[in-house]
C-alpha cells in the first residue's frame, strides 16, 4: 500500500513499492499533470500513469482507465483551482472540502498527525514509523497557485 497526504497545497507520499509481502524498491507516487494538478495513487501503482492521463483528458466517463480484476485503487487529486477529490475503483470523483486529506495503509496515522498540526510531509513521515507498508524517503510537491 502507501501513505498519501495533502495539506496547505502540499501533496506528500512515501516511496515504497511492494508486491504481496515483498518490498520491491522505491517509486514516485506523486504526479503533476500538465494543467498543474497534483495527484497521488495508492494500491495498484501501475495505474498511476493511466489515471493521470485520464485526469488530463478531463475525466471522460466513457473512457475510464482499466483496473485489473481484484486490484486495489484509490487516489487524491488536488486541482489547480483549489478543489480536492478522492477517487476509488469506480473512478468517480468525490469532492471533499476539508482542511487536509490522507489515504492508504498509513492514511489514518497521517490524518491523526495532521489533526495535531503536522504538515503533509511530516504526516507521511510519521505514518512511515507505524505503517509497515509505507517507507521513507518521502516525496512532496507544492500545488502551483493559479
pLDDT, tens digit, 9 for 90 and up, residues 49-94? 888 888 888 776 777 777 778 778 889 999 999 999 999 888 889 9
What is the predicted pLDDT for the residue at 119?
98
Q: CA triplet 141, 136, 92: central angle to 5 degrees?
A: 55
The predicted-structure confidence for 5-32, as pLDDT tens digits, reads as follows 999 999 999 999 887 788 888 888 899 9
Domains contained in the chain, number: 1
What is the predicted pLDDT for the residue at 32?
92
Q: Note down the domain range covering 9.
A: 3-142
CA 26 to chain CA mean position, Å: 15
Strand partners, 74: 42
| CATH for 107 | 3.60.20.10
- Please give the model's pTM, rounded to 2 decimal places: 0.90
Amino acid at each position: 500500500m502507501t501513505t498519501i497526504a495533502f495539506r496547505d497545497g502540499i501533496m506528500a507520499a512515501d516511496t515504497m513499492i511492494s508486491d504481496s509481502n515483498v518490498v520491491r524498491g522505491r517509486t514516485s507516487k506523486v504526479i503533476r499533470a500538465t494543467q498543474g494538478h497534483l495527484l497521488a495513487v495508492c494500491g495498484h501503482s501501475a495505474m498511476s500513469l493511466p489515471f493521470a492521463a485520464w485526469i488530463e483528458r478531463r475525466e471522460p466517463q466513457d473512457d475510464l482507465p482499466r483496473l485489473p480484476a481484484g486490484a486495489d485503487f484509490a487516489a487524491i487529486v488536488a486541482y489547480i483551482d483549489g478543489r480536492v477529490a478522492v477517487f476509488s475503483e469506480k473512478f468517480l470523483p468525490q469532492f471533499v472540502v476539508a482542511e487536509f486529506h490522507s489515504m492508504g495503509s498509513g492514511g489514518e496515522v497521517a490524518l491523526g498527525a495532521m489533526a495535531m498540526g503536522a504538515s503533509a510531509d511530516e504526516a507521511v513521515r510519521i505514518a512511515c514509523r507505524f505503517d509497515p507498508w509505507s517507507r521513507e524517503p518521502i516525496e512532496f510537491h507544492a500545488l502551483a497557485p493559479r
